[in-house]
């Protein structure tokens, strides 16, 4: 484990103290659990969004070949970079 320091306001510290006493867990354990839940939710949200977006352009036939479309976009970026 890595030691780290955080700043809490009085309300957060009081709430953690109460929860620590109620659950019989250290404040460090509670904070690690909260971080694990937060990181898991963010990762889950990202994965969910990625899965939902898969194939989103499959019915856009007027784009034509995707590699041509990507080349056109990149050439626009290169032109913009040259002007800068």
The pLDDT of residue 31 is above 90: yes
Per-residue pLDDT tens over the stretch 39-69: 887 788 888 888 888 888 777 766 667 788 7
Mean pLDDT score of the chain: 87
Task: Place 22 in a pLDDT band, splitting at 50, 70 and 90.
Answer: very high
DSSP state of 52: H
Domain count, the chain: 1
Q: Find out whether 31 and 6 touch, Cβ atoms under 8 Å.
A: yes
Q: Find out whether 16 and 30 touch, Cβ atoms under 8 Å.
A: yes
How far, rounded to the nearest angstrom, does the alpha carbon of residue 76 sit from its chain's CA centroid? 29
% pLDDT > 70, the chain: 95
Domain for residue 61, yes or no?
yes
Domain for residue 15, yes or no?
yes
Task: Place 19 in a pLDDT band, splitting at 50, 70 and 90.
Answer: very high
Domain for residue 5, yes or no?
no
Least Cα distance to 28 among 40, 17, 41 occurs for: 17
Q: What is the mean pLDDT of residues 3-28?
A: 96
Taking the C-alpha atoms of residue 54 and residue 13, their distance in angstroms, rounded to an integer, is: 43
């Amino acid at each position: 484990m890595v030691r780290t320091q955080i700043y809490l306001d009085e309300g957060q510290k009081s709430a953690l103290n109460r929860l620590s006493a109620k659950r019989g867990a250290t404040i460090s354990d509670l904070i690690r659990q909260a971080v694990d839940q937060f990181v898991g939710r963010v990762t889950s949200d990202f994965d969910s969004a990625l899965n939902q977006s898969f194939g989103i352009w499959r019915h856009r036939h007027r784009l034509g070949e995707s590699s041509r479309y990507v080349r056109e976009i990149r050439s626009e970026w290169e032109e913009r970079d040259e002007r800068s």
